Structure 1
Amino acid sequence: MKMHLTTAAAALLLLAGAGAVAAQDVVIEPEQETVIKEYVHKQPLASVKVPGVELSVGSALPDTVELHEVPNVKYRYVVIDNQTVIVDPGTRKIVEVVQ
């Protein structure tokens, strides 16, 4: 009985972990990515500093950072430390650092 409970608990933890990882993965469709990159190139912004924020996928930006709209696209963008980042406006999390 103890063996079954341990196995079940391990399986539950594994599934919970997989769900958390999947929730963080945001895939921008290639068409949207092209639109975003072209728009960002045509509408350059001044770079801002955001102390204490790591520029990596999943990092959340504070409310003090102004996000800029890309027409007809769900995501917003901002330039931080001379790097353009694409942000989910609902969560304010970085979904891509544009290279």
Structure 2
Amino acid sequence: MKKYLVSAAAGLVLVAGIGASLAENVVILKPEQQTVVREYIHKQKLASVSLLGVELNVGTALPDTVELHAIDVPDVKYKYTVVGDHAVLVDPDTRKVVQIIE
């Protein structure tokens, strides 16, 4: 019985750690910022880059060869690029995708 409790406790710690990790990656933009950022990106008509063998998800680190572009929107620290058919917000410090713009 003790073995099962230890396994269950370890599983809960693992799940809690994953949840905390995912919560750190959540992008919090105010609704008005979302709208302005989306409109700004769509107006730029940036050429798309192709990343063969890279699955595009939140948390995916983009290679250094991908150029990141500044967003001229107040209080938004993220940069952006277009990968395939998707505009993505990227943390310039880690180069990780923080949001995929639909």
Interval of TM-score (by shorter of Structure 1 and Structure 2): 0.7 to 0.9
What is the count of residue pairs matched by the alignment?
Answer: 99
Report what 2:55 is aligned to.
Answer: 54
Say whether residues 1:76 and 2:56 are aligned partners.
no
Identity %: 51
Stretches of structure 2 that go unaligned for 5 or more consecutive residues are: none
Superposition deviation, residue 27 in structure 1: 2.8
Report what 1:26 is aligned to.
Answer: 27
> d(CA) in 2 for partners of 1:40 and 1:90?
20
Q: Normalising by the residue count of structure 1, what TM-score does the alignment of the two structures yield?
A: 0.78
Q: CA RMSD in A?
A: 2.3
Partner SS state of residue 32, structure 2:
helix
Superposition deviation, residue 50 in structure 1: 1.5
Stretches of structure 1 that go unaligned for 5 or more consecutive residues are: none
Pairing partner for 2:90 from 76, 87, 92: 87
Q: Normalising by the residue count of structure 2, what TM-score does the alignment of the two structures yield?
A: 0.77
Report what 2:66 is aligned to.
Answer: 65
